[in-house]
Amino acid sequence: STEIQLIRRPQGWPVAEDFRTAVVDHPALQPGEVRVRNEFISVDPYMRGRMNDTRSYVAPYPLGEAIKGGAVGRVVESASEELPVGTAVLHQHGWMDGVQAHADTFRAVPEIPGLPLSLRLHILGMTGLTAYVGLTAVAGLKEGDTVFVSGAAGAVGSAVGQIAKLLGAGRVIGSAGSAEKVTLLTEKYGYDAAFNYKDGNVRELLAAAAPEGIDVYFDNVGGDHLEAALDAFNDGGRAALCGAISAYNTTDRVTGPDNMANLITRGLRLQGFTLGSYLHLGQEFSERMNGWFADGKIAFDETVVDGIENTVDAFLDMMRGANTGKMLVRV
């Protein structure tokens, strides 16, 4: 099979020379092993952090190996009773069109008639759970709260607005990077108001969209967006710090918001989180999300790039905002 390996640590924005496409031959199956043909591969912002050789909540990617990450596929050869040929599986082997490994490293997932397996990589999987956990366990969303979400048209953000509404939020405001995305936020994803952060100063745009202030901020972006939220917060406001994508590809020193004193005067709580610490909420999330989904209350989008050889471009395009909803590579 063909896989995409990291061969050099990127400085700032990754370039093609940081990666290599390699062809791997698989030996005959050992007992307990399966061979899986991938259908969709996930490209995610956190992967940029793992390309650096710095201490973080997950280890850096080793050089010369395939980029690890979420993917879904189907068993095409099996020496395991648990995963017969044809089983749909979710796994973390990453950027490759096929993989052979022990059955333990794959998880069988139920198929939903008429829907692609790719949903397990976003709305019914990791990014959906991130949205749910951030709103509930981290930000402590209460009925009637005014919620602001940055990166609102992406995989996590498009779920956050809808889940917030379903959990009883009052006004929900989103920001995204194009006029088309802003339209989708209010017309498809249940946002009450939205703005394009490229149209001006985020502090002013948010103040105009949330004249009565905000109670919860779901931060996917950091930087100017976090600063704007800190100004817009009502007393007792809470932020779930989920990501800070505005800084992932900069080589400059990242400066913090200039209004941190608001935490003191307004009694604000900012809490960062990584999903790994909240996986115990997966079951609760699945039950609620499956219900909402079956009731037709959840909208989603995918931006799909075809071909394993285009994975690096898909990853970079995602970080530049080319995606609406989840960015995926179809193998």
| Amino acid letter, 158 | S
Distance CA 24, CA 21 (A): 10
CB of 176 to ligand NDP, least distance (A): 4
Is-contact 95 308, C-beta < 8 A?
Answer: yes
Closest by Cα among 32, 101, 33, 96 to 70: 96
Q: Considering the complex, state which of residue 108 and residue 281 has its C-beta at the smaller distance from ligand NDP.
A: 281
CB of 29 to ligand NDP, least distance (A): 33
Q: Tokens 């069988």, residue?
A: 108
Is-contact 3 96, C-beta < 8 A?
Answer: yes
Q: Does 246 bind ligand NDP (CB under 6 A)?
A: yes
Is-contact 128 289, C-beta < 8 A?
Answer: yes
Site string for ligand NDP, 29-58 (x = CB under 6 A): ---------------xxx------------
Helix (H, G, I), strand (E, B) or coil at 301: coil
Residues 187-216 binding ligand NDP (CB under 6 A) are: 197
Q: Does 13 bind ligand NDP (CB under 6 A)?
A: no
Distance CA 189, CA 300 (A): 8
Residues 52-91 binding ligand NDP (CB under 6 A) are: none
Going from the C-alpha of 56 to that of each of 12, 61, 257, 283, the distances in angstroms are 17, 11, 22, 27
Q: Does 157 bind ligand NDP (CB under 6 A)?
A: yes
Q: Does 186 bind ligand NDP (CB under 6 A)?
A: no
Task: Choose one: 65-73, 80-88, 172-180, 307-315; the region binding ligand NDP (CB under 6 A).
Answer: 172-180
- Chain-centroid distance of CA 140 in Å reads 20
Task: Choose one: 7-15, 60-68, 174-182, 229-237; the region binding ligand NDP (CB under 6 A).
Answer: 174-182
Sites of contact with ligand NDP (CB under 6 A) = 44-46, 127, 130, 151, 153-157, 176-178, 181, 197, 220-221, 242-243, 245-246, 273-275, 318-319, 321, 323, 327
